[in-house]
Amino acid sequence: SSTSSPSPSNLVAPNSDDPKELHNTVQAFRECLREFLPIGKQAVLGGDKKKMWTKLQELDSLIKGPFVAGDQLTVADCAGFPFLWRIDNEFGDWEDHGCNNIPVWLKHCSQQPAFAKSIQRSWWWWW
């Protein structure tokens, strides 16, 4: 990933203390992630990468930073991290495809002890 990415503190949207907005952000991200999984799997297996990047751009636009829904770690981060971390290792050219938030979010998450412990570099793809 590029070193010119924005820092976690200045991603696209302000953080919110509104529980309804938090819930809606988490649900939107999880639904988009659910739609992404078969597309990502196909891309990894040699399928349509353009379709993958289009869906990743949608996911990217939902990240508020530093976590998916703002300052608070949520189930959306836990659900998305393993898959997007693997996509980063496989393809990794986020900025070239209009995804500027995902690499910053991945870096931030990977620096959290719980996420760092979950990274297994030797695993093969799983879906």
pLDDT of residue 92: 87
pLDDT of residue 10: 37
**Helices marked H in 1-127 — which ranges?**
19-44, 49-62, 75-90, 101-110, 113-118
pLDDT tens for each residue of 42-51: 998 899 999 9
Q: How far apart are CA 66 and CA 101, in angstroms?
A: 9
Q: How far apart are CA 27 and CA 69, in angstroms?
A: 10
Q: How far apart are CA 69 and CA 66, in angstroms?
A: 8
Residue, of 91 and 14, whose pLDDT is higher = 91
Tokens representing 115? 């996420």
Q: Residue 126 — pLDDT band, cuts 50, 70, 90?
A: low
Closest CA to 52 of 35, 77, 31: 35
- Answer yes or no: is pLDDT of 123 > 60: no
Share above pLDDT 70 across residues of the chain, in percent, rounded to a whole number: 81
Cα torsion 95, 97, 99, 102: sign? negative
Closest CA to 95 of 83, 107, 111, 77: 107
- Answer yes or no: is pLDDT of 17 > 80: no
Mean pLDDT across the chain:
85
Terminal CA-CA length for the chain: 23
